[in-house]
Structure 1
Amino acid sequence: MRIDSHQHFWVFNAERDAWITDDMEAIRRDFLPTDLASVLKSNGIDGTIAVQASQSHAETQFLVDLSSMYAMIKGVVGWVDLQSDDIAKYLADFSQYPIIKGFRHVVEAEDDPDFLIRPAFLRGIQALTTYQYTYDLLIRPQHYSSTLACVLGNPEQQFVLDHMAKPSIKTKEFDAWATFIETLAGFPNVHCKVSGLVTEADWNNWTVEDFKPYIQHVIGSFGKERIMFGTDWPVCLVAARYEDVMKITESALIGFSDEEIQAFWGGNAARFYGLK
C-alpha cells in the first residue's frame, strides 16, 4: 500500500484560513476528497493521512466525517486543545474514532520559541502518550531548542517531524538545519516526513537538484526505517503539481532496496500511524 502521509482538506474560509495569502491564489478555494481521488489514482497512491489545517475540535470532526465517506483517508491527524485542563476528557471523546491516529498543533505560527515546553503543553503531550496517539511536529528554526527539550522529556511519545522542519531551500540555508536534524534523529521515537519542500524553494524557479542535499541528509540522519513520503497537497500546488513532488522525492532515493522503497512509499507510514 502506497500512502501519502501528509495532505489536507478544507472548505475555504478567508478569515479562518488567513494563512492562505493572496499570492497563493492556486489554493484559495475548497479542496475535498473528490478533488484528490483522480490525482491519487493517476500517481499510484492508495490512500492518505489527512492532517488538520485549522485549529479547532470542529476541524478534527470534519476530517473524521470525511473519512467515513471516503476510503482513501486511512488515518486522521487532528487538532485538540493540548493546553486545556480537560485534555483527558477530549481525548477520551475522540478515542471513539479509530481513524484518529494522532494530533498536531501549528507551532510554526507561535511566536514563543518555548511553546513546546510550556507546562500546560507538556501535560497535553503526556496525555497523548497515555492514549497512544502520535504527535506531528510542525516547527520553524526558532523552535529547534524547545523541540529537542520536548522530545527529550517524552521518550515514550511517538513524534513525527513534518516537512523536514521546513529548511529554507530558496536561500540555501543548510548548516544550522542539518545540525538540528542530526540531533533530533538521535531520538529513536522521532520519525520524519519527506514532505512540504516545494513551498520552501523558489516557487517559480526550483529544480529537482535543489532538494537532493536536504532529502539525502534526512535519509542519512534518520535512516530508511523512520522516514515517510508526503506531499502536503494541496499546499504544494502553489509551486508544483502532485507528480512533480513525487519526482523530486524519487530522484533523491539512492541506494534503496526494493523493500526499503516499499517502506518509504507506504510501509513506514502505515507502521507509524498504525494503519490496517
Structure 2
Amino acid sequence: MTPTRREFLGWTAAAAATTTAAARAATAAAPASPIIDTHVHLWEPAKQRLLWLEKGSELDRNALWDDYLKAAAGLDVVKAVYMEVDVDPSQHEAEARMVLDQCRKGDTALCAAVIGGRPAFEGFAAYIEPLAKDPAVKGVRQVLHGPPTPAGYCLQEAFVKGVRRLGELGLCFDLCMRHAELADGAKLIEQATGTRFVLDHCGNPPVFGDLAAWKRDVDRIAALPNVVGKVSGIVASAKGRSWKADDLAPVIHHMIEAFGPDRVMFGGDWPVCTLGAPLRDWVNALSEIVRDRKAEDQRKLFHDNAAKFYRLV
C-alpha cells in the first residue's frame, strides 16, 4: 500500500528523531576522558560476614575483580579505588589486608582503598595507625544509614575524636548517611576541620521525590572547604523503575553547582549500581547529563579531581 504524504512525513520525522537520539547516545557512550572509578565494591559472601546482605537477594553473589572488569569492558577505567563493604567489624583488618595485597600487585587498575573502620570504637587508633602507613590506604568509611547508627551517632565525642585522628594521619573519611541527617554530617565536618571528607552518593537524595531539603543541606556541606562530593550511588535508587538520564540530572547538576567543578568526582558503586542499571548505563547516563559542560570540567569529574584528592600517581 502506498503511504500517504502525512504518513511519509511522520515516518521521516520519527526516523530523524531516532537517528538524532542514536547519534546523541553514541556521542555520550563514554566520557571523553579516562575514568578513575572511586567506588568499587568487591566481596565474597561465603568468606565474609555481610550482615546487611539479604540471603538470595540480587546482590547475594560474588563480586570479584574479574567480574568488575567484565562490567567495565569498553570503559576507559585507568584506576580504581576500592570502597569497604560494611563487613562485620571483626573482619575489618582482614578486609583491608586482602585489598591492599591486590593493590600492591600493581597488575590491575585497582590501586587504592577506603577501608572499613569504627571511629568511635576504643581500639580504633590502634587499628588504623599501622594501616595508615600503607600508601594505598586513602581513608576510612563507616556506613551511617543503617543499624546500629541512630540519628546523631556521628556527633558522639568518641566518633568525632576518631575522625579527627584520621586527619592527623592524612586520611579522609567518607560520609555515607541518610539524606535527612545531612545536617549532622555538616556539624561533624565543622568539628573536624583538619580531616578531609567525601560525601558519598550525592548525600543519598530522594531522587524521585522532593529535593528541596536535600539541596539545602548539600549546599551547607558544600560550603565547607574540607569536603568533596562523590557523584555515585543514585542510579541504584531507580530499582524497579523505567528511568532516563533526565531523572538523575537535577541531582547531578545541583552537586556540580554546589561543590563546583573542582570538588566533584565520579564513583561507579558497582555492583550496587546494578540494582538500577549496569555500570555502563550509569556511566553513559552521567556522560549524557554533563555533555554540555566544558571538556576540562568533564575530565575533572571523571578523572582529574580523584587523581588529585587521592594523590594517585
Q: TM-score, normalised by structure 1?
A: 0.92
Match of 2:215 in 1: 178
Match of 2:280 in 1: 243
Matches of 1:193 and 1:130, distance apart in 2:
23
Q: State yes or no: 1:35 paired with 2:35.
A: no
Q: State yes or no: 1:58 paired with 2:94.
A: yes
**Bigger shift: residues 87-96 or 131-140:** 87-96
Gaps of 5+ in 2: 1-33
Matches of 1:116 and 1:18, distance apart in 2:
20
- Spell out, residue by residue over 1:124-174, the C-alpha distance to the aligned partner (whole angstroms, 9 max, x if none): 01110110101110000342222111011112211010000111223x221
Match of 2:261 in 1: 224
Contact 1:101 1:273 in 2 (8 A): yes
Shift of 1:68: 2.7
Contact 1:193 1:228 in 2 (8 A): yes
Gaps of 5+ in 1: none
* Aligned CA distance change for structure 1 residues 203 and 23 (closer, same or farther; 3 Å): farther
Q: State yes or no: 1:114 paired with 2:152.
A: yes
Q: State yes or no: 1:253 paired with 2:290.
A: yes
Identity of aligned residues (%): 27
Contact 1:24 1:238 in 2 (8 A): no
In our comparison, the structure showing a higher alpha carbon Rg is 2
Shift of 1:40: 3.1
Match of 1:17 in 2: 50
- The amino acid that maps onto 1:130 is E
Q: Which of the numbers 99, 104, 109 marks the counterpart of 1:68?
A: 104
* Aligned CA distance change for structure 1 residues 15 and 7 (closer, same or farther; 3 Å): closer
Contact 1:67 1:99 in 2 (8 A): yes
Shift of 1:41: 4.2
* Aligned CA distance change for structure 1 residues 15 and 272 (closer, same or farther; 3 Å): closer
Shift of 1:7: 1.3
SS of structure 2 residue aligned to 1:203: coil
Match of 1:46 in 2: 78
Shift of 1:66: 2.4
- The amino acid that maps onto 1:68 is R
* Aligned CA distance change for structure 1 residues 275 and 149 (closer, same or farther; 3 Å): same
Matches of 1:203 and 1:250, distance apart in 2:
22
Contact 1:167 1:200 in 2 (8 A): no
Q: How does 1:152-163 map to 2 (within 5 A)?
A: 152-163=190-201
Shift of 1:199: 1.3
Q: State yes or no: 1:135 paired with 2:167.
A: no
Q: State yes or no: 1:167 paired with 2:205.
A: yes
Q: Which of the numbers 33, 36, 39 marks the counterpart of 1:3?
A: 36
Contact 1:199 1:238 in 2 (8 A): yes
Matches of 1:8 and 1:23, distance apart in 2:
19
Q: State yes or no: 1:148 paired with 2:186.
A: yes
Paired residues in the alignment total 274
Matches of 2:243 and 2:256, distance apart in 1:
21
* Aligned CA distance change for structure 1 residues 23 and 212 (closer, same or farther; 3 Å): farther
Q: State yes or no: 1:200 paired with 2:237.
A: yes
- The amino acid that maps onto 1:148 is A
Contact 1:76 1:102 in 2 (8 A): yes
Shift of 1:255: 4.2
SS of structure 1 residue aligned to 2:145: helix
- The amino acid that maps onto 1:58 is A
Contact 1:60 1:79 in 2 (8 A): yes
